Structure 1
C-alpha cells in the first residue's frame, strides 16, 4: 500500500466515523477510534510516527467563534464540514463551508475558520506536507 493510498484510506475512514487502521512502515496496524465527545479540538492522527506527515482532527466551534488566523506553513489543509455553517477566510476572499462540501487551504496561506451559523460548526481538518 502506497503512502497516498494509506492517507486516502485513513481520511475516508475518519469521514465515515469508523475506526482507522493505520499501517506504519515498521509498526503493526492500530485502530484509532473516532470519539469526538464535546471537546472543541480532538487530534485524530498526529503525524509521525503514526503517519509520515499526515495529520487530522475534529474541530467544534460555537456560534460566532473562530479558530484564529493562522498559516499552515508547508502543509496544505482540507476541511470537511460535518454540521453547521461557517466561512473559511483568506486575506483576499471568503469561502462558505457547510456539510456536503470540501474546502482547501493551500500551503503558506493565511486563513481562519469562523462559525457564522446559529448552531455549532463541526469539521474534520486534514493536513499534509505539500513540499
Structure 2
C-alpha cells in the first residue's frame, strides 16, 4: 500500500527535479499585447495560479527574418504584425537582412524560449 502511495507522488517529484517547465503546460489565460506576454502560471510549491508578465524582447531575436530564442534579442525593432496564435505560436513579419530587408513571415513556438519558473514567466 505504501508503495502505491509513493507511485502517486512520482509526477510531482519529476516536476520538481525537472527545473523550469514549458510555460504552456502549466499556465493558462495566455495572451499577448505589444511585446508583453501575460499568463496565469502555476506555482510548484502550492499549485496556485498567479499572474506573470514578460517582455518578449528579452527572449526573442530576429535572425535574418527568422524568429529565434535569444537573450535581449529585441525582435520588435525589426518585426511587425506580431500575433499570438493559440497558447504558444508566435508569428511576425520580420526583416530579412539578406533579402533587401524585406519583411518575411516567421513563426516561433514560444515553449522553446519561455518557461514557467515557480509561477514566473522566464526566458
Is TM > 0.5 for Structure 1 vs Structure 2? no
Q: Normalising by structure 1, report the TM-score.
A: 0.29
TM-score, normalised via structure 2 length: 0.31
Bigger Cα Rg: 2
Higher strand residue share: 2
